Structure 1
């Protein structure tokens, strides 16, 4: 028999008849009238080629074929009720789930410690795995489920099939060591252009500040290029180099290094930091909690989620 021609509601009728041994009582238990139950039993008999339940005295007794079906039908209904129709549940306080987050090293340094503090209070068993990859690979990672959430500056993720939500706006600042021999409390454009600079060229990702300079034909002396933003912490702390970086990175460096932060003398555009997720997980309650956790890290700045 082709399953497509079988009304699965008839399994509910069968189970009720097996339990109550009465068409009337079985119908009352599942909200069907006696004529509707009789019609359903007739369909069952026709489909299965067996009388199934036969009137014997005051009750309907199962045939041998029906007796064989009682246990598998009950099991099938329990699976549907308990696994297919089960309402999604996620309790962060007891969950041991692992979430995979895609974010650059700036996000690792600034956002993940905040997230861990939140987890310690609300979800002590939840685990976090952080990945970094080129921007061109981020979409596929979200699409395949290799990562649950992408957090950071990902201009290539403004694509169909994804949702996006702004978390905060990140402007640019300059970092120098606290006892810099030339640069004091203010940084002029002349000092900026005369200084030796350290810059970051992350693999597979563009540095917004470098793009800004290139578009305007501004050339300064770059004495050092590194691949990771966090490498700047010991470098700027122990040299006379200057680095122009997003403010959230500078905040981390100030906390842990011998560093001062100064406004940049150039009008550099700010970076919009977003979180991105695939539409597959948009309604998933666990993913909703994770996104809500990131929103709460930046309550004054987060915007509404929208399709990318």
Structure 2
């Protein structure tokens, strides 16, 4: 083979032929898979043999069998075909039913508990070969994480989101106050007096300028005794179980999940609190990316269909 490293001499369509022959082990069946005649397949195989200076596939009683060189080439050629199908072509079009892709989402631990399960269910229905990876990043790293492609979307309520990011409101989320089922001081309702006199647990997410997630309570003019702060939503019901005298004010969806496990009682806060907006954020660099456009649509659709108590 002359000038074997000159890629311009290789018709990349021949790699598709190689892939089909490797899978089907028959010139006829490979041609049927690709929608071309057996004659065209034979011609393509002849060109492959010239380029690689090897028979590649030899006749056998079952069809064709790859040579040692074909077996050696197979992993690299299959990787090339897979990359073209799932990375290059996905930029021109995105077929969710056939795509093999891992989507990365920035969410809090609350988001993982409440929103990832229904999203995984929808993904299983419409994109069975795709998967989800979650990560957490502080707000000051949010733009860089999205710009690099390390994360495809950020889901949550981000105070002071970086300028220049696209964002879309998914729904408005109310707060609820939760108490341990072991708390015997509270009956079926929670009074303002009880709310103000009992110690509270507050979630203070990293990178939020030391502002509690439920700081709207103080904004409403209510003074409370915050006995403990944590950056972890999922620790709250466990702490309330160990210290039943504590209260916590959390997003409604989280309170619903905790109550479902018979850990807490859920109350409407005894003071009017504004709802907060849960949004998805993405970087302009990937605004037209077909796969990310599809993902944003799936997220919006999934969250729109969540029951009222979950959003």
Give the TM-score taking structure 1 as reference length: 0.65
The question of whether the paired residues in 2 share the 8 Å contact of 1:167 and 1:298 is answered with yes
Partner of 1:114: 118
Long gaps (5+) in structure 1: 1-81, 302-308
- Give the Cα separation in 2 of the matches to 1:209 and 1:239: 20
1:244 aligns with 2:246: no
The question of whether the paired residues in 1 share the 8 Å contact of 2:203 and 2:213 is answered with no
Distance change >3 Å, CA 296–CA 260, structure 1 → 2: same
Partner of 2:268: 263
Partner deviation per Cα, 1:194-218 (whole Å, 9 max, x = no partner):
11211222221343422x3444664
Partner deviation per Cα, 1:31-78 (whole Å, 9 max, x = no partner):
xxxxxxxxxxxxxxxxxxxxxxxxxxxxxxxxxxxxxxxxxxxxxxxx
- Give the Cα separation in 1 of the matches to 2:281 and 2:241: 34
Q: Which residue of 156, 161, 164 corresponds with 2:160?
A: 156
| Cα distance, 1:112 vs structure 2 | 0.5
Give the TM-score taking structure 2 as reference length: 0.64
Q: Secondary structure at the match of 1:156?
A: coil
Long gaps (5+) in structure 2: 1-84, 307-311
The question of whether the paired residues in 1 share the 8 Å contact of 2:104 and 2:132 is answered with yes
Which aligned pairs between 1:144-293 and structure 2 lie closer than 5 A?
144-157=148-161, 159-160=163-164, 162-205=165-208, 206-210=211-215, 212-215=216-219, 218-240=222-244, 241-293=246-298
| Cα distance, 1:300 vs structure 2 | 6.0
Q: Secondary structure at the match of 1:155?
A: coil
Q: Which has the larger radius of gyration?
A: 1
- Give the Cα separation in 2 of the matches to 1:270 and 1:207: 15
- Give the Cα separation in 2 of the matches to 1:112 and 1:142: 19
- Give the Cα separation in 2 of the matches to 1:87 and 1:192: 53
Partner of 1:56: none
- Give the Cα separation in 2 of the matches to 1:163 and 1:98: 21
Distance change >3 Å, CA 84–CA 135, structure 1 → 2: closer
The question of whether the paired residues in 1 share the 8 Å contact of 2:196 and 2:225 is answered with yes
- Give the Cα separation in 2 of the matches to 1:85 and 1:185: 58
The question of whether the paired residues in 2 share the 8 Å contact of 1:209 and 1:268 is answered with no
- Give the Cα separation in 1 of the matches to 2:90 and 2:221: 60
| Cα distance, 1:155 vs structure 2 | 2.8
Q: Which residue of 88, 95, 99 corresponds with 2:99?
A: 95
| Cα distance, 1:178 vs structure 2 | 2.5
- Give the Cα separation in 2 of the matches to 1:126 and 1:300: 21
Between 287-296 and 220-229, report the one with greater CA deviation. 220-229
Partner deviation per Cα, 1:137-196 (whole Å, 9 max, x = no partner):
112211222211111011322622x22111011111100123421111111110101112
Which aligned pairs between 1:69-108 and structure 2 lie closer than 5 A?
88-108=92-112
Q: Secondary structure at the match of 1:157?
A: coil
The question of whether the paired residues in 2 share the 8 Å contact of 1:234 and 1:257 is answered with no
**Number of equivalent positions:** 219
The question of whether the paired residues in 2 share the 8 Å contact of 1:106 and 1:230 is answered with yes
Partner of 1:25: none
- Give the Cα separation in 1 of the matches to 2:90 and 2:233: 46
The question of whether the paired residues in 1 share the 8 Å contact of 2:170 and 2:303 is answered with yes
| Cα distance, 1:85 vs structure 2 | 9.7
